[in-house]
Each structure stands twice: as structure tokens, then as C-alpha cells.
Amino acid sequence: MQYAQPLTADHDALKSAIDRLKAEHDTAMYNALAQAANVFADVTGRKAIILLADGLDNRSTITADEVIQQIDPSGLSISTIGLGDPSQLGVSNAALDEQALRSLADRAGGAFGYANDVESLRGLYEQYGRALQSEYVITYTSPSALRDGLNRSLSVSLSGTTGQAAAEYNPGGLIPEVARRNTLPLFVGALAVLAALLFAPTLVARGADLISKLPKGKLLKKGARVRLQEESQPRIRLR
């Protein structure tokens, strides 16, 4: 794996570096992408990689998943251009693994294109160049701040054109969170109920004790009448 040219705005230097490129031996595509991501680590602004390959990686020590994890926080995108014959996959070294390149571009926020001749290759580079120069950066803040483990999906489309994009974000979290509420009234009410249940046996016992101490009298039969009379006064007769 060779690092042919540091980042530069000098077109002549870039052309010379491209002319010096030579294809040798096996393909370490994912290792090369990881190194390119490291080169872009300290670069600010819009960052993009255009990968020209057959998608047949047989030498890398890392996987596509590791590349995606490395570039995800940096806002770096990867677009791919496939060279080769898709019908020869698994048959010869002239094959093209279109699925691998398409999947990589989709996951890395780029686009996939197939070039089978010089004209189509030139057209793809021009297309990618125009796309990079006409991009918009949109920031969206979800109204839900809970870390509930649910995906936030966002779709954006432009009226009058066919341009559209979709993205998902997961805030993480294993146990769904709920919005905090003022639980003080509920707590006080529950405490009052528990206190009432705690003292209820004592109150009942005291009530029964008071009733037992009341003076006992004869029970009146149903329908009985009570006549109240004044106590007769003794009569004194004088002679």
C-alpha cells in the first residue's frame, strides 16, 4: 500500500501522482480506506473519499464495519466506482463485487457508480464533483431528549427536484426513560393512607372499650310505651 500524494490543491502534482500509480499484487481496500481516513482526521470542512476499485478485498487486516466506525464521527463520506465484470465474480480476477462497493457507499453516506469505459469513468467523476459542490448541511434537534433506545428517523426532500435524503440516529440507552413528574402529592397521599391503616386497629379497640363502659340498661320491647310521671309528693293532713 502506497501513499502517493499528500493533500494538495496543486492539480499538476495530483496528475503526476496518479500517473505514477501501479497496480500490484493483492488488494487491501479496507486498510487503504482506514489510512485515508487518518489523513483526513485533522482536516476541517467537507471531506469525501472516492474509491475506484473492483471491491475484491483479499489482503486487509480490518473489515468494512471497522472502517464505518472510524469515519462515522468525522462526517467523512465514501463514494465508490466499480471497475470489472460483475458476471465474473468468483470466477476470475477481472470480476467486480458490486454488492460490496454499493453497500460500502450506502453505509458511508456516498454513492455508487459503475464504469465500463473511459467516458463513463469521466462522467462519474464529474457527477461526484458537482454533487460535492452543491451539498447542504442540515442540523435537526429532536424534541425528544430521552435516551430510550429508539431510532430517530428523519427524511429531507427538495420540492421541484428528485433530491432526497434519509438518516437515522439512536441515542442509546437500554432501559426506556420516562419524563420526570412531580410525584410529591402522590407520595404524601400514599403516606396518609398508610398512616390511617396503621392506626385503624388502635382506634377500633378504643371505640369498643368505650362502648363496653357505658351503663347497661334493660332493653325495651318493640312497641312498648314509656310514661313519664312526676314522683308523687307525700300528703300532709292537718287537723
pLDDT category of residue 174 using cuts at 50, 70 and 90? low
pLDDT at 1: 84
pLDDT at 99: 96
Averaged pLDDT for residues 216-234: 50
Averaged pLDDT for residues 206-229: 56
Architecture of the domain made up of 11-135: 3-Layer(aba) Sandwich (3.40)
pLDDT at 52: 96
Distance separating alpha carbons of residues 43 and 46, to the nearest angstrom: 9
Q: Can you read off the three cell numbers belonging to residue 135? A: 451539498
Q: What is the pLDDT of residues 5-40, one digit of tens each?
A: 999 999 999 999 999 998 887 899 999 999 999 999
Whether 110 has a pLDDT exceeding 90, the answer reads yes
Of the candidates 102, 33, 112, 111, the residue with the CA atom closest to the CA atom of residue 69: 33
Instruction: Considering only residues 22 and 185, tell me which one the structure prediction assigns the higher pLDDT.
Output: 22
Which are the contacts of 165, defined by CB distance < 8 A and separation ≥ 6?
155, 156, 157
Lowest mean per-residue pLDDT among 29-33, 148-152, 184-188: 184-188
- Look over the chain and give the mean of its residue pLDDT values, rounded to a whole number: 81
Q: Can you read off the three cell numbers belonging to residue 65? A: 464495519
pLDDT at 53: 95
Distance separating alpha carbons of residues 239 and 233, to the nearest angstrom: 19
Whether 94 has a pLDDT exceeding 90, the answer reads no
Instruction: Considering only residues 183 and 59, tell me which one the structure prediction assigns the higher pLDDT.
Output: 59
Instruction: Considering only residues 223 and 103, tell me which one the structure prediction assigns the higher pLDDT.
Output: 103
The percentage of the chain sitting over the pLDDT mark of 70, rounded to a whole number, equals 77
pLDDT category of residue 239 using cuts at 50, 70 and 90? very low
pLDDT at 238: 46
pLDDT at 65: 95
Q: What is the pLDDT of residues 62-79, one digit of tens each?
A: 999 999 999 876 779 999
Q: Which long-range contacts (CB under 8 A, 24 or more apart) does 212-217 make?
A: none
- Domain limits of the chain? 11-135, 137-180, 183-212
pLDDT category of residue 56 using cuts at 50, 70 and 90? very high
pLDDT at 115: 95
Strand-pair partners of 154: 167
Instruction: Considering only residues 198 and 178, tell me which one the structure prediction assigns the higher pLDDT.
Output: 198
Instruction: Considering only residues 50 and 165, tell me which one the structure prediction assigns the higher pLDDT.
Output: 50
